[in-house]
Amino acid sequence: MIILGLNAYHGDSSACIFNDGKLIAAIEEERLKRIKHWAGLPLLSIQFCLKEAGLSLKEIDLITISKDPQAKLFQKFIHIIKYGILFSALKDRKQSSQNVKKLKIDLTNALGYELDDIKAKVRYIEHHRCHMACSYYNSPFQNAAIVSLDGMGDFTSLMTGVGKDNTILPLKSISYPHSIGYFYTCFTQFLGFHNYGDEYKVMGLSSYGQPQAEMLEKLYDVIKLKRNGLFELNTKYLSRVGKGDWNSIDKNGKPIIKNKFSKYLVEIFGKPRQNGEDILQHHKDLAASVQKVTEETVFHVIQNVHKETGLDYLCLSGGVAQNSVLNGKILSNTPFKKLFVPPNAHDGGTSVGSALYEYQHNLKNARIATINQTYTGNKYSNLAIEKYLNNLNLGPFHHANVEDDFLFDFVCDALIAGQIVGWFQGRSEFGPRALGNRSILADPRNKNTRNHINSKIKRRESFRPFAPSILNEYVSDYFENDESTPFMEKVFKIREGKQDEIPAVCHIDGTGRLQTVKQEDNPRYYKLLSAFYYKTGTPILLNTSFNENEPIVNAPEEAFQCFKRTEMDILVMENHILSRKPITLNNQEHRILTKNE
């Protein structure tokens, strides 16, 4: 059975393809469109997945989409009546429903098929069931509690449930407009970060402040914990609650987030910070307070889920599950013994979740082995990269195509010398984290590296931290938590005796958002880390996403252009090395000759 899974007409649009439960390919449209969080029908992603599978649209058996216009109709009707917005709300809902139902027409028109060519049935899967499926079915657990938390999807912001073998049983949910995601976004905007997806900036900033008792008291008037393990928002602090028109999409498919907080929030918390204004200690303390209340709210939910289910294993998903600071504290603040967070817990992962929910839960196929959904995007051969480079006028850049042994030795020496390396290999990652295939790498022992990368390469706020990639067998030597975290999904405390050794990846509060690397998961990246450890005695590299205020690079041309316009020293694409300085191999300097020379 061939299933094409989609997150369509929604932020972080994506596509995936499964053959009898095996994931063949998955990618987010933003990587191909080059527009962050692109929203719409992911046609380029669909074409990529079909090509990877060697199939045409005619051969697809099922199309699943992570959106269900029929979900929570009663709650929607009550909301419409309560806020007196009957006509506009019905119009918006009709348009949303039509967007989904005309999926086949859109596909045929865009991809050059006739409508009769598409025999696939279309299944609409509720948003949070897709999040839950993405985490549970990809986890190593046969039985687990599941929690999905985000801003809003299909009129729901939270859903809890239980996964048993191939079945997911929902337990509780929270409906619009009560949302921990909205709570966090309100204060993300209040702190001067207005772009769609900027919440991670507040998470990073929170470590520079301290939660303040007065702020915490005020925040608990914005969000209130309930005895049943749920919560609700005080909607007077939210704007546009009635119509809910907080988000829109511009003509280029870029999601736009409108103001979520009302005048009452300003009356209580003072003047909002404007974009570009200095970040004061007050802002840092507010970020820390918001982070603390968010953590306590999620712990409240999760503790109740454990009480209701009695299970020891937890699967977490949804946009809130991208808060790695929160994730790193869950096991020490709740009774759960193990936690799984997938590499694509955000909305992009719901394409995979929709396909898995249909295949496992609805069609009742036997539970399959854990799916590795980390490296599922584009891959470019050495030959393809060489062909691309031969068509360039490289100007001052030097080039060599080398064997692995020289490559690892050369890159490690460059890192030790303080150089910054763009690292491009294998299939691109599916999700918002660079996990060793589309990464910028540096020596974590150099205390000046963090400021240099933030200002000269990433060109972003100075408070933003960087992640340590660490050989899995040395985690306990450097971190207080000895837990495998392959997807950079948790922040842990770095041991005090090790913080001075790796200052470039040690955040101001002594923590690091680590990525544990096993040989079987990424052999080539593991080999590079091992080579660096052999030369330095430190089994860690600084790893950050290969981009500069854009989606993570996907193809060689994007990697080269990012390398060219920033102050990276070296670009490695598979076995090709590009450098601003001469490359010495067998006592000879190498430089490619282009057609113009």
- Span 206-220, pLDDT tens digits: 999 999 999 999 999
**pLDDT confidence band for 98 (50 / 70 / 90):** low
The CATH number covering residue 64 comes to: 3.30.420.40
How far apart are the C-alpha atoms of 422 and 568, rounded to whole Å?
7
pLDDT on residue 305: 98
**Mean pLDDT, rounded, of the chain:** 93
> Would you say residue 574 lies in a domain?
yes
What are the two backbone dihedrals, phi and then psi, of residue 520, each rounded to the nearest 5 degrees? -70, -20
CA nearest to 325, candidates 490, 516, 150, 507: 490
What are the two backbone dihedrals, phi and then psi, of residue 340, each rounded to the nearest 5 degrees? -120, 125
> Would you say residue 349 lies in a domain?
no
Q: Coil, strand, or helix at residue 520?
A: coil
pLDDT on residue 532: 97
Which residues pair with residue 424 across a beta bridge? Answer: 438, 573
Q: Does 468 lie in the same domain as 537?
A: yes
Q: Could you read off the pLDDT of 418-452 as tens digits, one per residue?
A: 999 999 999 999 999 999 999 999 999 999 999 99
Distances (CA, A) of 556 to 194, 379, 385: 31, 10, 7
**pLDDT confidence band for 560 (50 / 70 / 90):** very high
Residue type at 453 in one-letter notation: I
CA nearest to 150, candidates 285, 24, 7, 358: 7
Q: Does 548 lie in the same domain as 585?
A: yes
pLDDT on residue 166: 94
> Would you say residue 367 lies in a domain?
no
> Would you say residue 371 lies in a domain?
no
Domain end (from 94, 128, 162): 128
Name the token pair of 359: 């295949």
> Would you say residue 322 lies in a domain?
yes
**pLDDT confidence band for 91 (50 / 70 / 90):** low
244-258, 352-366, 373-387, 561-575: least confidently modelled range: 244-258
Percent of the chain with pLDDT over 70: 94
Which residues pair with residue 317 across a beta bridge? Answer: 148
Taking 80 as the threshold, does the pLDDT of residue 54 lie above it? yes
Q: Where are the alpha helices (DSSP H) in 417-522?
A: 449-452, 475-478, 496-499
Residue 502: CB partners within 8 Å, gap ≥ 6? 444, 445, 468, 478, 494, 512, 538, 540
Q: Does 286 lie in the same domain as 228?
A: yes
How far apart are the C-alpha atoms of 328 and 246, rounded to whole Å?
30
Residue 52 and residue 270 in contact, taking contact as beta carbons nearer than 8 Å: no
Q: Does 108 lie in the same domain as 58?
A: yes
Residue 497: CB partners within 8 Å, gap ≥ 6? none
**pLDDT confidence band for 101 (50 / 70 / 90):** low
Which pairing describes strands 490-493 and 511-517: parallel, antiparallel, or unpaired?
antiparallel
Q: Does 327 lie in the same domain as 222?
A: yes
Taking 50 as the threshold, does the pLDDT of residue 263 lie above it? yes
Task: Kindly calculate the radius of gyration of the chain based on its CA atoms and give it in whole angstroms.
Answer: 24
**pLDDT confidence band for 33 (50 / 70 / 90):** very high
pLDDT on residue 83: 76
Q: Where are the alpha helices (DSSP H) in 112-173?
A: 127-136
Taking 70 as the threshold, does the pLDDT of residue 186 lie above it? yes
Residue type at 333 in one-letter notation: N
34-43, 133-142, 327-336, 586-595: least confidently modelled range: 586-595
Measured over the CA atoms of residue 55, residue 58, residue 62 and residue 68, the dihedral's sign is positive
Q: Coil, strand, or helix at residue 380?
A: coil
> Would you say residue 375 lies in a domain?
no
Q: Coil, strand, or helix at residue 24?
A: strand
Q: Does 228 lie in the same domain as 173?
A: yes
Taking 80 as the threshold, does the pLDDT of residue 97 lie above it? no
**pLDDT confidence band for 108 (50 / 70 / 90):** confident
The CATH number covering residue 461 comes to: 3.90.870.20
Taking 90 as the threshold, does the pLDDT of residue 148 lie above it? yes
How far apart are the C-alpha atoms of 367 and 122, rounded to whole Å?
22
How far apart are the C-alpha atoms of 569 and 418, rounded to whole Å?
9
Name the token pair of 11: 């932020």
CA nearest to 104, candidates 34, 197, 6, 245: 6
How far apart are the C-alpha atoms of 179 and 195, rounded to whole Å?
19
Taking 50 as the threshold, does the pLDDT of residue 574 lie above it? yes
How far apart are the C-alpha atoms of 395 and 111, rounded to whole Å?
39
Average pLDDT over residues 408-424: 96
Give me the helix-helix angle, 281-309 and 213-222, nearest 10°: 60
Residue 539 and residue 533 in contact, taking contact as beta carbons nearer than 8 Å: yes
Distances (CA, A) of 196 to 22, 248, 415: 32, 10, 34
Taking 70 as the threshold, does the pLDDT of residue 90 lie above it? no
**Angle 206-210-211 from CA coordinates, rounded to 5°:** 95
Domain end (from 312, 341, 370): 341
Who wins on pLDDT, 34 or 462?
34
Neighbouring CB atoms inside 10 A of 336's CB total: 20
Q: Does 292 lie in the same domain as 211?
A: yes
Residue 161 and residue 168 in contact, taking contact as beta carbons nearer than 8 Å: yes
How far apart are the C-alpha atoms of 398 and 414, rounded to whole Å?
14
Taking 50 as the threshold, does the pLDDT of residue 303 lie above it? yes
Q: Does 237 lie in the same domain as 293?
A: yes
- Residue 498 CA neighbour count, 13 Å, CB half: 22
Q: Does 456 lie in the same domain as 331?
A: no
Average pLDDT over residues 535-555: 97
Q: Does 32 lie in the same domain as 94?
A: yes
Taking 60 as the threshold, does the pLDDT of residue 597 lie above it? no
Taking 70 as the threshold, does the pLDDT of residue 391 lie above it? yes
Q: Does 145 lie in the same domain as 104?
A: no
pLDDT on residue 521: 94
For 250-286, the three-class secondary structure string (H helix, E strand, C coil) is CCCCCEEECCCECHHHHHHHCCCCCCCCCCCHHHHHH
pLDDT on residue 275: 87
Domain end (from 323, 341, 359): 341
> Would you say residue 303 lies in a domain?
yes
Domain membership of residue 159 as a residue range: 139-341
**How many domains does the chain fold into?**
3
Cα distance from N-terminal residue to C-terminal residue, the chain: 53
Percent of the chain with pLDDT over 90: 83
**pLDDT confidence band for 92 (50 / 70 / 90):** low
Name the token pair of 219: 């925040």
Q: Which helix (H) or strand (E) holds 316?
A: strand 313-317
pLDDT on residue 190: 97
Q: Could you read off the pLDDT of 487-535 as tens digits, one per residue?
A: 999 999 999 999 999 999 999 999 999 999 999 999 999 999 999 999 9
> Would you say residue 348 lies in a domain?
no
Q: Could you read off the pLDDT of 35-51 as tens digits, one per residue?
A: 999 999 999 999 999 99
Q: Does 508 lie in the same domain as 403?
A: yes
pLDDT on residue 95: 54
